[in-house]
Amino acid sequence: MPKVTICIPTYNRSQYLAYAVNSVWQQTYSDFELIICDDASVDDTPELVKQWRDDRLKYIRQPLNIGRSRNMRTGFTAAKGEYFLKFDDDDGITPDFLAKTVARLDNHPEVDFVCTNHWIIASDSQRMKDATQLNIAKWGKDKLSEGIIPDLIEQTFDYQSLQMGSTLFRLTSLQEVDYLRSQADGCEDFDLLVRLAIAGKTGYFLPELLMEYRFHQQQTSLKQDIHFLSAKAFCLNDYRFSTPELEKRRLVKLAQTQQALGLRLIEQGEVKQGRQLLNFSRDILGNSAKLYGGWLLSYLPNEITKFTLSFLRQLRPQNYTEQVRTASMS
């Protein structure tokens, strides 16, 4: 039986998949199996996979598209390793990733997972130093030292400083929390890591840059934003914390997510549902200019609403994602 299972879910990303898979073959640690889960790609992914002739490779191709999270779960269900790693088909791991993370789990039996730092790479696979440092600072990883993470709920729920793709897990720990939930599709990292923290699991931080996360230049679409915000709202509505202070922070995060989702739904023309979410958020956050603005826009023709919200987004300061895009292009 292999010590480690590596899972790479993929869908129509043959132009990047070779980079991800080759980063696995280049590992200095060799006791692993690689499972590629293909969600019924219609590009040349099957032909690409045929070129890798290695007994450690297993290719699972879905007959029909079943969605991101369900596709990921097929690789998890088929895993035979003691340890488990999942990273995306456009990312990569550095040659020492397994050697260094496996050593930490082997030497610390009380630890459930080891999370590392990661590079930001551009669409051409070049490492972006400025974008990487911006990412580390944004998520507070510059304040974490190597070792057991002292307050896992704070790091996963408040700071969101950990990432699934740069983390090696004990398979049994993931099985105990049911790994990925389809309702959290698009928000899997946040959901899994928070649920591990709530379950009392132990995380270890390794500050070395051992993974590569590809940052794409394209903007997200309205549909993608709604999908992500809906998944995050589901997660925040489902969690329950043991202290009143944590519960208060959960409700505030939920209300902020509902407000953002409500505005995006109004922009899409789903006015009734959008107003309902704004009402929910007002009960926690109170009245605000953003809330009143959303209500006003919900009564205007949809084309005016779309134009106004798009114009307002252009006026605001760059958010974190836009800053990283700028840094990755410099």
> According to the model, what pLDDT value does residue 217 have?
67
**Residues 83 and 102 sit within 8 Å (Cβ to Cβ):** yes
**Residues 32 and 6 sit within 8 Å (Cβ to Cβ):** yes
> According to the model, what pLDDT value does residue 291 have?
87
> According to the model, what pLDDT value does residue 101 have?
98
> According to the model, what pLDDT value does residue 280 have?
93
Residue identified by tokens 């039996």 is 109
Q: For each successive 10 residues of the chain (330 residues), what is the average pLDDT?
A: 97 96 98 98 96 97 94 96 97 98 98 98 94 94 96 95 96 96 92 98 98 81 93 97 95 96 94 94 92 88 84 66 53
Distance CA 298, CA 289 (A): 14
| Whole-structure pTM value | 0.92
The DSSP element (H or E) to which 106 belongs, if any, is helix 97-107
**Residues 73 and 43 sit within 8 Å (Cβ to Cβ):** no
> According to the model, what pLDDT value does residue 219 have?
60
Residue identified by tokens 């898979």 is 21
Using alpha carbons, select from 160, 157, 165, 168 the residue that is nearest to residue 120.
165
Distance CA 295, CA 263 (A): 9
